[in-house]
Amino acid sequence: MSDLLHHPMAWLYGAFWLWMVFDAVRREEWLWVVFMVVFAFPNALLYFFLVYRAQGSATSGFELPGAHSRKRIKQLEAQIHNLDKAHHHSQLGDIFFQQGKLAKAEACYRAALERDAEDIDTRVHLGQCLLRQGQPDQARALLEKVCAENPDHDYGHSMMALAETLGALGQNEAAVTIWCRVLELHSYARARVQLAELYARLQRNELARAELNEVIADDAHAPGFQRKRDRPWLRKARALLRRL
Q: How much of the chain exceeds pLDDT 90, in percent?
A: 62
Query: Residue 58 above 70 pLDDT?
Result: no
In a domain, 90, yes or no: no
* 162-186: average pLDDT: 96
Residue-wise burial string across 178-192, b where 16 or more C-beta atoms lie within 10 A, e elsewhere: bbebbbeeeebbbbb
pLDDT given at position 18: 87
43, burial (CB in 10 Å: exposed 0-12, middle 13-18, buried 19+): buried
Domain boundary among 54, 71, 94: 54
Q: Does residue 8 have a pLDDT over 90?
A: no
User: Looking at the predicted structure, is the pLDDT value of residue 68 above 80?
Assistant: no
Please state the rounded mean pLDDT for residues 48-77: 62
Q: Is residue 106 part of a domain?
A: no
24 occurs within a structural domain: yes
Query: What is the pLDDT, as a whole number, of residue 21?
Result: 87
pLDDT of residue 40: 76
Counting the structural domains of the chain, the total is 2
Is the pLDDT at 20 greater than 50? The verdict is yes
> Is pLDDT above 70 for 56?
no
Of 30, 54, 78, which one is at a domain's C-terminal end?
54
What was the pLDDT predicted at 43? 78
More confident residue, 55 or 162: 162
The verdict on residue 244 lying in a domain is yes
145 assigned to some structural domain: no
Report H helices in the chain.
2-5, 8-26, 30-38, 40-47, 70-82, 86-98, 102-115, 120-132, 136-149, 157-168, 172-185, 189-201, 205-221, 224-243
Domain presence at residue 131: no
Rounded to the nearest integer, the mean pLDDT of the chain is: 87
Per-residue confidence (pLDDT) for residue 49, from 0 to 100:
74
The whole-angstrom separation of Cα 177 and Cα 84 is 40
Mean pLDDT of 189-211: 96
Question: Mean per-residue pLDDT for 11-36?
Answer: 80
Q: What is the pLDDT of residue 10?
A: 67
Picking from 54, 78, 94, the residue at the C-terminal end of a domain is 54
- 202 occurs within a structural domain: yes
Instruction: Tell me: pLDDT of 67 over 70.
Output: no
Contact 142, 106 (CB under 8 A): no
Residues 6+ apart with CB under 8 A from 119: 86, 87, 90, 112, 113
Assigned domain for 80 exists: no
Q: Which domain holds residue 20?
A: 2-54
With cut-offs at 50, 70 and 90, classify the pLDDT of residue 168. Answer: very high
Mean pLDDT on 100-112: 95
Once rounded to an integer, what is the mean pLDDT over residues 215-244? 91
% of the chain exceeding 70 in pLDDT: 87
Crossing angle, helix 30-38 and helix 40-47, to 10 degrees? 150
